[in-house]
């Protein structure tokens, strides 16, 4: 082993370890790895940032924009409306939901397709009186399987297509992945539909009332004449000498006038009845220190919480949300967004800690209150996904035909090799913006910039692995197997290795790192690179064993109440099935043709 090979292996091992640890985000880790290979001279200065202009990076960004356009146009939402006919039988529900997610994920961002159907799945589970856990893991896995079907279904496919072009062969086309990917997806869908009982069932989340019994935390207090807070604002009431208290005024009753979700600057008057969301300590503070008193509200004060213009919505914090790592005080939700945070649930249970001191994490479920016209833009800005809305409508005007026409045109240009895929899809993204299907803000917000940075930084690492001979060194270990085992076993080993790596690091990173090894292995065996590259693409997209393997798995973890170790129960047999189905299909459609390199 040379010094350069040892250096690249140390850097890659450290990078993978940091990916698994998760202390720092993967884009920061990948940039640190990129600078490391530059400093020690494995990548020349003029090639350090070439990865950011790689066709795969441009294509991934364009597909994310197009996915936003399809979502805005209501394409997925229209498909999801068909689910109302699925009935209440769990097998039919699982098959229908997972099938639609799988289909949509073949042509758009899989996380976006999952996000649109998660609220539908939760609603169907609650209507059937079951826990959402039996539906959410299947649709998450369906979103991964759908990505196998086409070139644009998932970033690993785009990466593998571009790397094939670097070997001197044409890049994989739009539907080159379909024969094997579709076979795996259909087999996986059938398995999930029949074996959905393997999904861990987490009880206690069958209805929103079981998760957020908000009425138990609402108190009615009256402002007596002479109280020190008379004439002051609600902000002054909820702050103690500039220190925010952990309480929220969710409504004010003033005679016959009801004011749900009042402004912080609303002045308090004598005789007001305040509906306050607070724990016993803060309620004691209002009574003892602020001079308020418990009230018997005339009529049903709490009924105003269901005011048609004031809604409560459950939403989940998604990867990339600005809320991650921050507290409600840091975000200042009332001042900046005009909404109240009433409760937070984590891992299926409402948090009992003080909200002001709670730092949000990915997957937290929030109970938010606000006016209809403020909740929707707030959730959009915060990158939170509405789950079981209580009166909140996220509907947008339908522009399905123009969106499908633009998207179909881009696919046709790429499929018939009229334009390179990165050019045709980026042009389509621009047309969607010009047509008003995607706003300029949405165009930039829809791009998953950490993924773009990850890809741009990882490509030079992959080149360094190849140029130092590190990829060839690993491939030689596989070659030793070829003297003992048949070629299909080598194919299965590459797929299983990529699959294992993808369960602990980002699937795009797994594809970038494994592709040079597959190419070196093909050269060593004097066979076509196609079956080995295809095996990497499939393995990178099938992260079924852990919640950290893919954003789809992470998104369903909290709403489903899953634990870290729950995923292997359905994911392990599905992973084995994937290899069993994919290897023969690869051998048939992409045979090990002898090639003279």
pLDDT tens string 204-254: 444 445 556 555 556 778 899 888 888 888 888 877 655 556 678 888 888
Distance of CA 31 to the CA centre of its chain: 22
Closest CA to 490 of 522, 523, 526, 515: 522
User: Alpha helices of 290-439 — where are they, by DSSP H?
Assistant: 328-331, 333-337, 372-382, 400-415, 421-434
Rounded Cα gap, residues 224 and 583, in angstroms? 76
Write out pLDDT tens, residues 293-312.
877 554 455 555 555 566 77
Count of alpha carbons within 13 angstroms of residue 415, beta-carbon side: 13
**What are residue 224's phi and psi, to 5 degrees?**
-75, 160
Report the 3 state secondary structure along 475-520: HHHHHHHHCCCCHHHHHHHHHHHHHHHHCCCCHHHHHHHHHHHHHH
CB 508 within 8 A of CB 44: no
Domain with CATH 3.30.70.1450 in the chain: 209-306, 310-390
CATH superfamily of 209-306: Regulator of K+ conductance, C-terminal domain (3.30.70.1450)
Backbone angles phi, psi at 579, to 5 degrees: -65, -45
Q: What is the sign, positive or negative, of the torsion defined by CA atoms of 583, 588, 590, 593?
A: positive
314, containing H or E segment: strand 310-317
C-alpha 368/C-alpha 389 separation (Å) is 10
Give the Å distances, CA to CA, from 100 to 79, 176, 195, 556. 7, 22, 18, 17
**What tokens does 595 get?**
């090639």
Quick one: residue 44, left, alpha or beta (phi over 0 = left, psi -120 to 50 = alpha)?
beta
Q: Which residues of 112-142 are buried (b: 16+ CB within 10 A; e: fewer)?
A: bbbbbbbbbbbbbbbebebbbbbbbbbbbbb
Q: Nearest 5°: CA angle at 19, between 184 and 521?
A: 55
Burial class (CB in 10 A: 0-12, 13-18, 19+), 244: middle
C-alpha to C-alpha distance for 108 and 96, rounded to whole angstroms = 18
> Closest Cα to residue 405, out of 428, 388, 389, 422?
428
Which residues of the chain register pLDDT less than 50?
204-208, 298-299, 389-397
Sign of CA dihedral 87, 92, 97, 101: negative
Q: Which two tokens mark 292?
A: 């308020």
Chain length of the chain: 597
Q: Are 521 and 512 in contact (CB under 8 A)?
A: no
Q: Contact at 8 Å (CB) between 201 and 251? A: no
- DSSP secondary structure, 80-114, as one string: HGGGGGS-S-HHHHHHHHHHHHHHHHTTS-HHHHH
Q: Which residue has the tokens 């087999």?
A: 187
Domain 310-390 CATH assignment equals 1.10.1040.10: no
**Tokens for 405?**
């026409």
**Separation between Cα atoms, residue 262 and residue 282, nearest integer Å:** 19
pLDDT at 551: 82
β-bridge pairing 273-278 and 310-317: unpaired
Give the β-pairing of 239-240 and 349-350.
unpaired
| Crossing angle of helices 449-467 and 470-482, rounded to 10° | 70
């Amino acid at each position: 082993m040379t010094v350069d090979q040892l250096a690249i292996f140390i850097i890659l091992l450290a990078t993978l370890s940091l990916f698994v640890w998760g202390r720092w985000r993967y884009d920061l880790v990948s940039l640190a790895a990129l600078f490391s290979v530059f400093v020690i001279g494995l990548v020349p200065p003029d090639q350090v940032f070439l990865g950011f202009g790689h066709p795969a990076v441009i294509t991934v960004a364009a597909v994310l924009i197009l996915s936003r356009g399809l979502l805005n146009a209501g394409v997925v939402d229209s498909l999801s409306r068909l689910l109302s006919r699925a009935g209440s039988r769990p097998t039919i529900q699982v098959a229908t939901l997972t099938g639609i997610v799988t289909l949509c994920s073949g042509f758009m961002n899989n996380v976006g397709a999952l996000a649109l159907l998660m609220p539908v799945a939760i609603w169907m589970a609650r209507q059937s009186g079951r826990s959402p856990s039996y539906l959410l893991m299947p649709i998450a896995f369906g979103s991964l399987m759908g990505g196998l079907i086409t070139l644009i279904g998932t970033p690993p496919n785009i990466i593998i297509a571009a790397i094939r072009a670097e070997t001197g062969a044409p890049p994989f086309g739009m539907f080159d992945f379909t024969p094997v990917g579709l076979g795996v997806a259909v087999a996986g869908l059938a398995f999930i539909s029949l074996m959905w009982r393997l999904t861990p069932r987490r009880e206690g989340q069958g209805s929103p009332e079981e998760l957020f019994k908000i009425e138990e935390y609402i108190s009615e207090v009256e402002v007596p004449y002479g109280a020190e807070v008379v004439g002051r604002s609600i902000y002054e009431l909820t702050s103690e000498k500039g220190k925010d208290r952990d309480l929220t005024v969710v409504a004010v009753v003033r005679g016959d006038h009801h004011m749900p979700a009042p402004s912080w600057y609303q002045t308090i008057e004598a005789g007001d009845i305040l509906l306050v969301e607070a724990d016993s300590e803060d309620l004691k503070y209002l009574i003892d220190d602020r001079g308020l008193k418990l009230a018997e509200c005339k009529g049903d004060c709490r009924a105003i919480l269901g005011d048609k213009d004031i809604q409560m919505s459950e939403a989940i914090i998604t990867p990339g949300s600005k809320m991650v790592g921050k507290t409600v005080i840091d975000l200042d939700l009332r001042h900046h967004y005009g909404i109240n945070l009433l409760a937070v649930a984590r891992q299926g249970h409402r948090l009992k800690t003080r909200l002001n001191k709670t730092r949000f994490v990915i997957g937290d479920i929030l109970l938010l209150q606000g006016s209809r016209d403020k909740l929707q833009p707030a959730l959009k800005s915060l990158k939170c996904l509405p789950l079981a809305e209580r009166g909140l409508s996220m509907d947008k005007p339908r522009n399905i035909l123009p969106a499908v026409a633009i998207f179909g045109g881009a696919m046709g240009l790429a499929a018939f090799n009229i334009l390179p895929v990165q050019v045709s899809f980026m042009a389509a993204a621009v047309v969607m913006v010009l047509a008003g299907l995607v706003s300029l803000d949405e165009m930039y917000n829809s791009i998953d910039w950490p993924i773009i940075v990850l890809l741009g930084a990882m490509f030079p690492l992959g080149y360094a692995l190849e140029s130092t001979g590190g990829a060839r060194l690993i491939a030689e270990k596989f070659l030793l197997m070829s003297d003992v085992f048949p070629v299909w076993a080598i194919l299965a080993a590459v797929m299983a290795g990529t699959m294992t790596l993808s369960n602990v690091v980002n699937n795009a990173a797994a594809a970038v790192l494994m592709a040079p090894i597959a190419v070196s292995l093909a050269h060593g065996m004097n066979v076509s690179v196609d079956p080995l590259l295809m095996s990497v693409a499939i393995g990178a997209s099938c992260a079924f064993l852990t919640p950290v393997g893919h954003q789809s798995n992470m998104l369903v973890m909290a709403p489903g109440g899953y634990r870290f170790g729950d995923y292997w129960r359905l994911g392990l047999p599905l992973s084995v099935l994937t290899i069993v189905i994919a290897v023969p299909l690869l051998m048939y459609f992409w045979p090990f043709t002898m090639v003279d390199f």
